[in-house]
Amino acid sequence: MTTRRELANAVRALAMDAVEAAKSGHPGMPMGMADIAEVLWNDFLRHNPANPRWFDRDRFVLSNGHGSMLQYALLHLAGYDLPMEQLKRFRQLHSKTAGHPEYGHTPGVETTTGPLGQGLANAVGFALAEKVLAAHFNRPGHTIVDHHTYVFLGDGCLMEGISHEVCSLAGTWALGKLVAIYDDNGISIDGEVHGWFTDDTAKRFEAYGWNVIRGVDGHDPDAVKRALAQATAQQDKPTLICCKTIIGFGAPHKQGKEESHGAPLGKDEVAAAREQLGWHHPPFEIPAEIYAGWDARAKGAELEQAWNARLEAYAQAYPELAAEFRRRLAGELPADWAAKSQAYIAKMQAEGPEVASRKASQMALDAFGPLLPELIGGSADLAGSNLTKWKGSKDAGNGDASGGQGNYVYYGVREFGMTAIANGLALHGGFIPYDATFLVFSDYARNAVRMSALIPSHTIHVYTHDSIGLGEDGPTHQPVEHLASLRHIPNNQVWRPCDAVESAVAWKVAIERKGNPACLVFSRQNLKHQQRTEPQVAAIARGAYVLADPAEAKFKAILIATGSEVELAMEAMRTLAQQGVPVRVVSMPCTEVFDEQPLEYREGILPSWCRARVAVEAASADYWRKYVGLDGEVIGMTGFGASAPAPQLFEHFGFTVSHVVDAVKRVIG
């Protein structure tokens, strides 16, 4: 009979062989956690290799993602569509076995775990999603949302500050179906961690309100099984299982040392490890009895079939709820969404409110929120400034009067953790999440914003107080380079609307951007409403459009602006018209969307014959050079802001009608 150790050794062998073949990788963690993984995957994890997207599966997250060969070996052995050929091509171009697990690239991978700690944060998002969806849809006798989230993590994840942010929240939210398994091997790349990581991790997590299981021998399957049984029986608190392991377990000369962490073991050490482990099989060869011991397909199919039967019974008892549940899991917007959202945009154009775009954002949420029960959002302790709470907001974290059926998350001052949790909410399914803070604090969140674009996840990032226009708080709080930084992230849309109409369109486009993120950037100060025709309103969604052209003459220059500077461009256009200089004004709320438009459309907005162009934005100037060319000018920021009332700052830094007029005259020549 195949023993547990033999099953685990298959993982160790595949990890050694793949890293050795690639001459690159991290064999130590997979070898150290193989025994834990064997117990979890064979005795606890509810999943179906034949259908990796089965909804009520348990989620498995490898936060210490450098040990990706652990997950690839598990997926292959359990029966996922990850053939041995892909393991042989570990870390090679176009293989399905990248250096770190990638969502959408490898079947069975729930999230892209690259930077340490973010997988743990995503897992908190998964667990929150499960809790809130269960409260929304489960009914007595009909439980259709009931799964755990398991996350592997190491010392590096716990040293990263994001682990404090998200684990504090997980305890506060009492995420009882979150189980974190800590690979306590005492080794990081620089060596033994006692020189730089002396925290009492168990006490730390107990202080967060977690259930902590200490001192588990990670190489004793019975001890691991008892700990997991205790963890899954706990419903009121998340659980941390502290497992003592030996990194590189089985490699006689390198186990327990940093040499096994981030480099191939070497041919001789691999051979010695095979001998010590009793694994007498050639590289990448797995005996049939080992495959049989790992194969999860039959059990997974039974689990999914049983759930499908429960879902059918639920549909009989609650047909409307079941239809709503299926719609949300499919990622489909409500049938009346398109018409009602467009009607709201037309209403804003007709009414023309002159409000700060952050207020316009809240107004859009008030209109769109009742249409979208899947919308869930929150702010990093700035709800009253970001204006992210709308009339139907209810606490999702602790329930309060909502009975757990909430849609608003109080994140506290945790920008990084908030954003990574929102990515987890999006990846889980059933939600469209948004997060919010001041634009200047997007620096704290930026790596998770980058991950939302790389994964990609359908996460909406809301940023307010968008320029030097926030005034007296001074340069520490005035974003200058942040818009350019966010715009440079591939697959990320950054919207900076100029009024309530563009704000509503930005929300609509972001909501409809399935599987991909967007950043919505709003002002603190009131913005003037802009008059538009119906075709102009429709063109907002194309990223840029002609807001104004001269009435009786061909334009000689083009003014390009976003956000609060659009009104400045319009005022400059009127002044220039009085001086006999006709100009066009282009509002460009989203450069990324505009750049994706067909050449014919872009040429119609910014014709190549007109090289006299001036871009105006109270942010980093250099970004706009690609639109104005060598002959144009940019009125923007080339340094940091200052502390003063907003009108004084705009005048001081040259955001005035006279400055724009002079720039236009210079580019005309």
Would you please indicate which residues are annotated as catalytic (active-site) residues?
A: 415
Best CA proximity match to 642, nearest among 631, 656, 659, 654: 654
Backbone angles phi, psi at 95, to 5 degrees: -80, 165
Angle between helices 28-39 and 221-233 (to 10 degrees): 60
Q: HSE (CB half, 13 Å, CA atoms) of 297?
A: 9
Instruction: Give the residues across from 349 on adjacent strands.
Output: none
CB 133 within 8 A of CB 143: no
* Residue for token pair 């690159």: 24
| E strand or H helix that includes residue 31 | helix 28-39
Cα angle 229-231-237, degrees, rounded to a multiple of 5:
155
The region, left, alpha or beta by phi > 0 then psi within -120 to 50, assigned to residue 387 is left
CB 77 within 8 A of CB 326: no
| E strand or H helix that includes residue 559 | strand 557-561
Annotate 170-199 with b (16+ C-beta within 10 A) or e (fewer).
bbebbbbbbbbbbbbbbbbeeeebeeeeee
CB 532 within 8 A of CB 365: no
Considering just the CA atoms, what is the radius of gyration of the chain in Å?
A: 28
Residues 6+ apart with CB under 8 A from 138: 144, 145, 146
d(CA 658, CA 71): 62
Cα angle 320-326-332, degrees, rounded to a multiple of 5:
110
Residue 276 CB neighbour total at 10 angstroms: 14
Q: HSE (CB half, 13 Å, CA atoms) of 432?
A: 28
d(CA 117, CA 156): 7
Structure tokens at 65: 């993602």
d(CA 361, CA 380): 17
CB 621 within 8 A of CB 467: no
Instruction: Give the residues across from 520 on adjacent strands.
Output: 462, 495
Best CA proximity match to 409, nearest among 201, 165, 181: 165
d(CA 150, CA 147): 10
